[in-house]
Amino acid sequence: MRASSGRTAGGSGLRPPSAVVKIAGVLFSLALTFLGLTAITFVISRVMPVDPVLAIVGDRASNEVYQQVYLQLGLDQPVYVQYLKYLGQLAQGDLGSSIMTTRPVLEDIRRFFPATLELATVATLLGIFVGVPMGVFAAVHQGRWPDHIVRVVALLGYSAPIFWLGLVALLIFYAKLGWVAGPGRLDVFYDGIIDPVTGILTIDAALARDWDIFRNALSHLILPGAILGTFALAYIARMTRSFMLDQLSQEYILTARVKGIPESRIIWGHAFRNVLVQLITIIGLTYASLLEGSVLTETVFSWPGIGQYITSSLFNNDMNAVLGGTIVVGACFVGINMLSDLLYRLVDPRIR
């Protein structure tokens, strides 16, 4: 808040630390979290009762071949040495190769992750732009029919199994009505026409100004986006409602009413600004958890996302792919948490 001179942290304690120090602190804890994440996932991948050698050579390989690969993988060394080696490779952007796809894991992730990113972003935006107004609307009409409707919708969206919702939606909107395209990200004959720039098909098509492909990609995106969005929306609407009810019962709302402020300003200008502080965390968490890839939605809609990639790698004992995917997803999670933490500080003057 107050301008502080360029003094370093840990000073007298009377002055709030400067912005630079705070950011350095955040980055430090970020690095530490990331290191912990890699350590835990690495150890888990090594103690799992899975033989990485067998996964590569197959169960008919001779003992010599087995031994050779065993040594090549460095499995004879202690786990901490293996971990340090892995970290060294990671620092160079090398996540190893996938057995299943035979390509470098990083390249795989570059192909699969944008699909998840696209879906998660659409779902989160839906959750924000529909869920937040729904929650506010419900709270303002607490106990009356708009509130009941929102609560039932939120409960349904939260508790309906997502694969069931997905299948029913496909049946109605794709098979019966033909309003949207079916599973997958694009119709087959559009596949591979445009260059992947971002990997997000709608954006790539728009960049290439190919509006046919853009429309097709969008048509494929709508249904899974809406299904996943319903889930996000239900959660965000429920949380917004309860945060809003809490704020509306605060004393400062009565103060605003005493001042003669119009009701809409009281709701959006006074109460919602306080709700926003709490909502940032909720939205950040929702987005981060959707970025993990939702395996069920991706499976139902044949959406080639990171969730599917990690799951099928796991079934194939493809540990490099699992490890790489987990680390990328974890990094996203940590990154979004940090971002929401920064936003939170920006919105709430009490913790700046």
Cβ closer to another protein: 186 or 277?
A: 277
Please tell me whether residue 274 binds another protein under the rule CB under 8 A.
yes
Minimum CB–partner distance for residue 261 and another protein (Å): 6
Tell me how many degrees the CA angle 76-80-83 measures, rounded to the nearest 5. 90
* Minimum separation from the CB atom of position 321 to another protein (A): 45
Nearer to another protein, 274 or 340 (CB): 274
How far is the C-alpha of 53 from the C-alpha of 50, rounded, in Å? 9
The region of 95-103, 214-222, 266-274, 309-317 touching another protein under the rule CB under 8 A is 266-274
Segment near another protein (CB under 8 A); pick from 21-29, 58-66, 117-125, 256-264: 256-264
| Binding residues among 277-296 for another protein as defined by CB under 8 A | 277
Binding status of residue 103 toward another protein by CB under 8 A: no
**Contact between 251 and another protein (CB under 8 A)?**
yes
321 to 350, contacts with another protein by CB under 8 A? Answer: 347-350
Closer Cβ to another protein, 226 or 282, answer by number? 282
Distance between CA atoms of 146 and 52, rounded to whole angstroms? Answer: 56
Q: Kindly indicate which of the ranges 38-46, 253-261, 284-292, 317-325 contains the residues binding another protein, using the contact rule CB under 8 A.
A: 253-261
Angle between helices 211-248 and 105-126 (to 10 degrees): 60
Look up residue 141 and give its amino acid: H
Token match 């933490």: residue?
341
Verify binding: residue 60, another protein, rule CB under 8 A: no
- Member of 19, 81, 254, 342 binding another protein (CB under 8 A): 254
Minimal distance in Å, beta carbon 264 to another protein? 12
220 contacts: CB under 8 Å, gap ≥ 6: 180, 181, 182, 183, 184, 185, 186, 187
Contact with another protein (CB under 8 A): which of 87, 155, 257, 302? Answer: 257
Give, as ranges, the residues between 1 and 30 that touch another protein (CB under 8 A).
1
Partners of residue 104 on adjacent β-strands: 97
Question: Which residues have CB under 8 Å from 338's CB, separation 6+?
Answer: 26, 30
Q: How many other CB atoms are there within 10 angstroms of residue 1's CB atom?
A: 7
Q: How far is the CB of 266 from another protein (least distance, A)?
A: 10
CA 261 vs CA 120, 258, 265, 266, 272: distances in Å? 38, 8, 7, 6, 15
Residue 273 binds another protein (CB under 8 A):
yes
What crossing angle do the helices spanning 132-140 and 272-291 adopt, rounded to 10°? Answer: 140
CB 116 within 8 A of CB 307: yes
The answer to whether the beta carbons of residues 75 and 53 sit under 8 Å apart is yes
Residues touching another protein, count (CB under 8 A): 21
CB 310, CB 321: distance < 8 Å: yes
Q: Kindly tell me which residue out of 262, 302, 315, 346 binds another protein, with binding defined by CB under 8 A.
A: 262
Binding residues vs another protein (CB under 8 A): 1, 250-252, 254-262, 270, 273-274, 277, 347-350
